[in-house]
Every structure is written in C-alpha cells, then in structure tokens.
C-alpha cells in the first residue's frame, strides 16, 4: 500500500504505464493499492483522528499553544488542518521567537 497525494499516484501510474525502469519493482514491493493521506470534511471519524494527531504534533513542539490557536494564526481556510501548514507555522513561530 502506498500513501500519498493524487500527484504521486498519477506519477507512479504513468511510470508503470510507460514501462519506466524501477516502477515495476516499486509496485512489486509495495503493491498497487493507493490511499490518500488527507481526510475529507464529510468523514467525521477521519477528522477526529487527524485532529488528534495534529494536537500531538503541536503539543510536542509548542506546549503552551492549542491547535486552534496555531491554525488561527496561519492562512488555513476552512476546518481542514494540513500537517504541512502546521509544520510551516511551527517553524515560523520558532524562528520569530529566536
């Protein structure tokens, strides 16, 4: 099973379809199943899990801050918490504090 974004899925399928070297070995080792790493807002169970993981990341890096506070200070839209945006915001805040 491979976990990644739609672009990765497309690139891997393209490499396999075009008989590029190494892609058949990749699929032999990891399989042909794809899974996205991002939840949809309609899936409440995934959202709860993802929010829990985001909370752990923020707690480990910024102990005095809540995820909602961190995300309020970022350019994130809606209720989807992107791990990439959380990482970028933590790095930016640590640089500002230094």
Along the 98 residues of the chain, how does pLDDT read in single tens digits?
Answer: 555 667 777 888 888 788 888 877 877 887 777 766 665 666 777 778 878 888 888 889 888 888 777 777 655 555 556 777 788 888 888 898 87
Same domain, 49 and 31: no
Confidence (pLDDT) at 77? 53
Host domain of residue 9: 2-35
Confidence (pLDDT) at 97? 82
Residue 67: count of CB within 10 angstroms of its CB? 19
Confidence (pLDDT) at 5? 66
Measured distance CA(89)–CA(83) in Å, rounded:
10
Predicted TM-score of the model (pTM) = 0.51
Residue of 65, 63, 59, 85 lying closest to 74 (CA atoms): 85
Beta strands in 1-98 (DSSP E): 2-3, 34-35
- Residue 35 pairs in a beta bridge with 3
Same domain, 31 and 59: no
């Amino acid at each position: 099973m491979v976990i990644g974004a739609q672009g990765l899925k497309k690139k891997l399928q393209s490499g396999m379809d075009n008989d590029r070297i190494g892609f058949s070995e990749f699929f032999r080792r990891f399989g042909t199943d794809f899974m996205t790493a991002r939840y949809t807002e309609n899936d409440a169970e995934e959202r709860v899990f993802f929010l829990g993981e985001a909370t752990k990341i923020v707690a480990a890096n910024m102990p005095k801050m809540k995820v909602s506070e961190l995300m309020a200070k970022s350019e994130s839209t809606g209720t989807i918490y992107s791990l990439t945006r959380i990482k970028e915001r933590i790095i930016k805040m640590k640089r500002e504090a230094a």
